[in-house]
Structure 1
Amino acid sequence: MVYKFRVILDTEEDIFRDIAILEDDTLEDFHNAIVNAFDFDGLEIASFYTCDNEWNQEDEISLFDTGDVLGQQKVMSDYALSSLLDKDNTKIIYVYDFLNMWTFLVELAAIEEVEAGETYPSTLFSHGIMPLGTADVEFSETDENALDFDEDDYDEEDFDMFDGDDSFEDQSFDENWN
């Protein structure tokens, strides 16, 4: 059987991919399909999380065993998709790159027969463009939020608030207080 998923990036914009993959493929295979569908470089850590119908996160299944005791942590390569997802359990959460926390809501949309001549996994549909991360902000003189020090009552001395100020010398501050 073929599992058809909608993988939705958790952002305000509508960004998702529809992916078809064999039911016996592993979560690691699915991870690779998601990485390819969203044009990630595949060099970052990722995890799937089981969840309930309201998307409440439950058990982590990571890409690698990073636990204190080898073999105790659940890893993607040990789980076939069909062992976790079926017509009654259709949702799972995927997180890629724990620094940027790309979070995806993944839902099983259909279970269908294998189509002759098709290659799996495959991206069936792509909607939206991945954001590049935080946007670089460029300020110009016409920007209403830009600071214009020429028009304000500031001069260079205002920015050196402790230069020439002896008011702290009279305090009984002990440099080695800790």
Structure 2
Amino acid sequence: MIYRFRVILDTHEDVFRDIEIEASDSLEDLHNVILQAFGFEGQEMASFYVSNDKWEQGEEIALFDMGDKPGAVRIMSENRLEDSVWREQTRLIYVYDYLNMWTFMVELADIVEPEDGMSYPNLMYVEGQIPAEAPEREFIIEDLDDSLSNEDELDLDPDDYDNLDFNENWN
């Protein structure tokens, strides 16, 4: 089976790539195709995140296991597309370069039979140019005043340096 994905850069402009790839390929293969399709060099860390219909970030599938416990994090090379994405679970979030946070929405658009004579992966369609810098993330914080006013709850006085329980010679 062939998976057809639309990979959309999270920006105001229309920047996306339509990609065909074999369902039996790994998420690392999809990662490499995305890098090539958008012109990245591939020198940075990346992760996929399972997502729901609201594009909420779920379980991480990382390029490498950087966790405290070996095997605690799912790894791209060990996860096939057909085991991670299917008709009822069609969305992934892809983050490349944790410093700049290039963020992409990856959605399974179709599942088709392979075409005779076609080699996969295949870049089907290109729309828009990737900007020189990663788009700035827009975070929404509800009730900002409530979330930042926990000084009263913790009974802290930022002007009382001597009683903040801070060892300035910690190293």
TM-score of the aligned structures, taking structure 1 as reference length:
0.74
Q: Deviations over 1:141-175 (max 9, x none)?
A: xxxxxxxxxxxxxxxxxxxxxxxxxxxxxxxxxxx
Partner of 2:149: none
Partner of 2:101: 101
Partner of 2:130: 130
Q: Deviations over 1:91-114 (max 9, x none)?
A: 110000011100000100000001
Indicate the percent of aligned positions where both proteins have the same amino acid: 51
CA distance in 1, matches of 2:71, 2:42: 23
For the aligned residue pairs, the C-alpha RMSD in angstroms reads 1.1
Residue aligned with 1:124, SS: strand
TM-superposed CA distance for 1:47, in Å, is 0.1
The count of corresponding residues between Structure 1 and Structure 2 is 135
Residue aligned with 2:111, SS: strand
TM-superposed CA distance for 1:72, in Å, is 1.8
Residue aligned with 1:32, SS: helix
Partner of 2:18: 18
Partner of 2:163: none
Partner of 1:27: 27
Q: Which runs of 5+ in 1 are unaligned?
A: 135-177
CA distance in 1, matches of 2:122, 2:37: 8
TM-superposed CA distance for 1:51, in Å, is 1.1
Q: Deviations over 1:112-139 (max 9, x none)?
A: 00111111111100000000117xxxxx
1:9 equivalent in alignment to 2:9: yes
Q: Which runs of 5+ in 2 are unaligned?
A: 135-167
Partner of 1:80: 80
Higher helix fraction (1 or 2): 2
TM-score of the aligned structures, taking structure 2 as reference length:
0.77
Q: What amino acid maps onto 2:55 in structure 1?
A: W
Q: What amino acid maps onto 1:129 in structure 2?
A: Q
CA distance in 2, matches of 1:12, 1:87: 27
